[in-house]
Structure 1
């Protein structure tokens, strides 16, 4: 069976006068549905990596394949139907919340799945928001609607850029529960950027840790939090140099 997603030797430079490196040599493979937490300090290029995987940005070098087919051979609309992306700062289209939810089916010329949309909205506490003007919602409401909008495509891979960072505790828990349930029911893969180490430890199956301008560690979640393989990883989760004691999450 071909990998769900494979990333080979991705390089990205910054658009400055010196073309300085953002990251290089990013290589990873996803063989089965799982939730991956993408960790690392600010400035490592985590959001840029997600945008490249979403075909919203272009790598300077490297290859990305979905189900064994190179990104270059996919139609952009087909790729974005298979690879969903939820940005850190949600962008709403004009009109109502319902208009925003229906946009997905309109763009891809598919039937609008009203029962699924109602279930997703209800699970995130948005059952009464259908008729609201999208531009008048709070940041947290926009973030949740944006997630629902992406899930309505039933993507094979879901890319999430700090989607719970602006949410209150109740809404955050609702999103986490929905993503766990979605993974079980749909068999989908998620790659999520988070700065919440407790969230990463509790939700993910695997950790991608970016540091020193590359994907420095790729390991099972339990292994990473118990004993990272690098000094940078230990510093990031504040483990002592020996790596003998796990961080308290």
Structure 2
């Protein structure tokens, strides 16, 4: 698998807090089709890291490269087309469901693939959703699934998924997991996924990134990480998660 995204020494400072850094010295590689789950307790900066990878925030240290080109050589809009961030709280644009689905194509001057949109909506159980309905009137779960389809239509090289199934019922959650895993396998799209569900993390990942103490302490194949994590912090994290039944 080719390297799509590379992180070298990424650091982010806190705003007037101690310690000075939220995290630093984050170095890792993301390969095509790889499914990575980013784990760690609350406050480690996982969302901030994803926002940096999508160039929605700037790192205070380090550099990123996409397909071997440093991030400063890319126009931000083109980078974000290739590295797409999907937020936990979906943002619906003013207008209909269809207008929201078309928004990505219009933004980047590309043809709207209606057939692909219909296939993705059906895969997420939204085949009966009226596209003329106002997006603001959708339920929380409908908004989250529609926002995910909107992001998929961008056909990015890397998808950054920030707890994108958090508000879904179990059936919709499983459907999203299947769609995303199939998408990565068939299209070579890399996934970096934050989840607060350890069972989900084990099911949807090939690789685990584990953050603690302001560092990326482990990068390991998922099976290896869950069987025998190499750091004391990761072992404690898994034990605590198992005992509490959910991630912090």
Paired with 2:147 and 2:159, the residues of 1 have a C-alpha distance of: 12
Determine if contact 1:182/1:188 at 8 Å carries over to the other structure: yes
Determine if contact 1:2/1:68 at 8 Å carries over to the other structure: no
Partner of 1:208: 209
Q: C-alpha deviations, 1:105-158, integer Å up to 9, x for none?
A: 111000000000000011111123212211111111111111100100110000
Paired with 2:115 and 2:90, the residues of 1 have a C-alpha distance of: 23
Using the TM superposition, give the Cα deviation of residue 19 of structure 1 relative to its aligned residue in structure 2, in angstroms.
7.3
- The list of structure 1 runs, each at least 4 consecutive aligned residues, that deviate by more than 6 angstroms after superposition, is none
The alignment of Structure 1 onto Structure 2 pairs a total of residues equal to 241
Using the TM superposition, give the Cα deviation of residue 80 of structure 1 relative to its aligned residue in structure 2, in angstroms.
1.0
Equivalent residue of 1:27, what SS? strand
Partner of 2:43: 43
Paired with 2:104 and 2:75, the residues of 1 have a C-alpha distance of: 16
Partner of 1:99: 99
Q: C-alpha deviations, 1:204-249, integer Å up to 9, x for none?
A: 000000001010100000000001111110011118xxxxxxxx99
Paired with 1:60 and 1:186, the residues of 2 have a C-alpha distance of: 33
Cα 1:70/1:193, change in 2 over 3 Å: same
Q: C-alpha deviations, 1:79-126, integer Å up to 9, x for none?
A: 111111100101110001100010011110000000000000111111
Paired with 2:201 and 2:2, the residues of 1 have a C-alpha distance of: 27
Using the TM superposition, give the Cα deviation of residue 20 of structure 1 relative to its aligned residue in structure 2, in angstroms.
2.1
Using the TM superposition, give the Cα deviation of residue 25 of structure 1 relative to its aligned residue in structure 2, in angstroms.
0.5
Equivalent residue of 2:33, what SS? coil
The answer for unaligned runs of 5 or more in structure 1 is 240-247
Which sits farther off after the overlay, 30-39 or 159-168? 30-39
Paired with 1:124 and 1:164, the residues of 2 have a C-alpha distance of: 11
TM-score w.r.t. the length of structure 1 is: 0.93
Using the TM superposition, give the Cα deviation of residue 2 of structure 1 relative to its aligned residue in structure 2, in angstroms.
6.0
Counting only pairs closer than 5 Å after superposition, residues 46-61 of structure 1 correspond to structure 2 as: 46-61=46-61
Computed over aligned residues only, the root mean square deviation of the Cα atoms, in angstroms, reads: 1.6
Equivalent residue of 2:98, what SS? helix
Partner of 2:21: 21
The answer for unaligned runs of 5 or more in structure 2 is none
Paired with 2:186 and 2:20, the residues of 1 have a C-alpha distance of: 43
Cα 1:235/1:19, change in 2 over 3 Å: closer
TM-score w.r.t. the length of structure 2 is: 0.93
